[in-house]
Amino acid sequence: KAGVTQTPRYLIKTRGQQVTLSCSPISGHRSVSWYQQTPGQGLQFLFEYFSETQRNKGNFPGRFSGRQFSNSRSEMNVSTLELGDSALYLCASSIQEFTEAFFGQGTRLTVV
Amino acid sequence: GESVGLHLPTLSVQEGDNSIINCAYSNSASDYFIWYKQESGKGPQFIIDIRSNMDKRQGQRVTVLLNKTVKHLSLQIAATQPGDSAVYFCAETGQGGKLIFGQGTELSVKP
C-alpha cells in the first residue's frame, strides 16, 4: 500500500511570507504528526492530530499551526516565515498513538 | 525536561561485522521505543520497535535490547552491509504518543 505522501518536496520562500505543507497519511491511519528536522536541533515534535483534533502540541510559536481533514489528510501552516524556519518538515502517520509511526519523505523548506 | 540521547555520534564498522548503536533515555515512564534509519534526502524509516514489557525483540538482522533499570536502549545490526550506512535514531514516546528523538548516530560501513 502507498506510504505517507508529502507535498511539495521542496519550497523556497521569502522572509515574512507564509507557507502551507500537505501530508497524506497511509490509508487507514488516523493519527498524523508533524516534526521539524534541523542540523542543530535534530527532530522536534510540532503537533499531532487524530480524527481532526489536535491532541498534542510541541514547543513552537503560534506561527506554526496545522489541521486535519475528515479523510485524515493534514496540512501545516507557517506564517511570517523567519530564516530559522528553514528545515526539513516531516509528517508521520500511525493507526493510533503508541504504535508504529511511518514517515514521509519530508518537505525541504528554505527561507531566504 | 524530556530527552533521549545517543552515546556515540559516529560509528564506523567493517562490512560483515556486527554494529551496536546505543541510546539513553530519561523518562522511566516511557513504555514504547522505536528505532529509525534515515538515509540522506529521505524521511526516517521504521526499523523496529519494543515495548517496555519486553527486554529484547528481533527482526531481520536487527535486534533491539531494552534495559529499563539503567534506561538504556540498543540496536544491534548483524552482518552490517554498505546499505546499512545511514543515521540511526532512537525515539521514545512521550506524552500523548509524541516521539522524542535522540540526536542520531551516523553509521558508516567500510567495504
**CA dist., res. A4 & res. A88, Å (int):** 15
pLDDT tens track for B10-63: 999 999 999 999 999 888 888 899 999 999 989 999 999 999 999 999 999 999
Q: State pLDDT tens for residues A45-72.
A: 999 999 999 999 999 999 999 999 999 9
Whether B43 sits inside 8 A of A104 (CB atoms) is: yes
- Residue B91 region, left (φ>0) first, then alpha (ψ -120 to 50), else beta? beta
Contact status of A55 with chain B (Cβ, < 8 Å): yes
pLDDT at position A40, please? 81
Give pLDDT < 50 ranges for chain A: none
Of all helices (H) and strands (E), which one includes residue B99?
Answer: strand B99-101
Q: Hunting for cell 544491534 — which residue is that?
A: B76
User: Contact B30/B52 with Cβ under 8 angstroms?
Assistant: yes
Q: What's the pLDDT score for residue B43?
A: 95
Is the CA virtual torsion B66, B69, B71, B74 positive or negative? Answer: negative
Angstrom distance (rounded) from CA B97 to CA B99? 6
Least CB–CB distance from B104: residue in A42, A48, A58: A42
* Contact (CB, 8 A) for B102 and B39: no
- For residue B65 the three cell numbers come to 535490547
Which residue in A54, A103, A105, A107 has the most chain B C-beta atoms within 10 A of its own C-beta, making it the best mutation to test that interface? A103
Q: Which of B23, B37, B98 to mutate to test the interface with A (most CBs of A within 10 A)?
A: B98
Cell numbers given for B88: 540511526
**Would you call A100 and B32 a contact, using CB atoms and an 8 Å cutoff?**
no
User: For B66-81, what is each residue's pLDDT tens digit?
Assistant: 999 999 999 999 999 9
Q: Which residues of B touch A (CB under 8 A)?
A: 31-32, 34, 36, 41-46, 49, 89, 91, 93-104
